[in-house]
Structure 1
Amino acid sequence: MKKIICIALAVTALLLAGTSPSHAFRGGHGGHGGHGGVGVWIGPGWGPGWWGPYYPFSPYYPYYTEPPIVIQQQPDTYIQQTPQTEQPSYWYFCREPEGYYPYVKKCPKGWLKVVPPETPEDGEEE
């Protein structure tokens, strides 16, 4: 019987020794190391402080972040223009004084519309 009691006390001592690191939050005293000590526990441990060690840090205030702004752009639409018919260009000729606009600035008798001569394209010169 004595042997069973000794084994039970040894197991209890080992179990209690295993619980002491769980109560040593960062070494105690603000994380600057702790002081040794021996505690005696009797009962299931539901007394004051059974809920665990105090959390030493103050809670932070939540920071509200706005959701990102997403703008979905519409695809570019291309509207094809109908080809414009080329307006015939005219030269303006004056008989007195004889010459073409813009070389002659004033024409007292009126300007004559003249269709310009066809200019040969590059490579078609005679």
Structure 2
Amino acid sequence: MDKTSVFLLFLFFLVATQAYALGGIVGGKTEVKNVKTNKEVQELGKYCVDQYNSKQKHVANGRKLLTFSQVVEAEKQVVSGIKYYLKISAATYGGGVPKNFDAVVVVKPWVDSKELLNFAPSTPAPTK
């Protein structure tokens, strides 16, 4: 093997190792394990509900505010940050029955930023 091939192989190994350390190969979704005990994921779920509630206070559409219960499922994807796909259990204020909501949030820890991209009621999974 010549020096260029060895260098390229080393560079590939280095990039692959860093991508794995960040939570997976760039672009691929991976399941977050132990979601219910994962403090970071649970805090992200609460952040998503808080952001949703904040937006609803400024919109006169009669939607009720939500109370965060827990994140029940999560996946993450390495992009220009880490994109989390969360299934969140939340209820309306006043003791409503908890329902599931799907949220997408991007976290860029190196600039201490979070951005909620989407928050909507979950749709039932298609039956097979």
TM-score (ref. length: structure 1): 0.25
TM-score (ref. length: structure 2): 0.25
Q: Decide which structure has greater strand share.
A: 2
Bigger radius of gyration among the two: 1
Q: Decide which structure has greater helix share.
A: 2
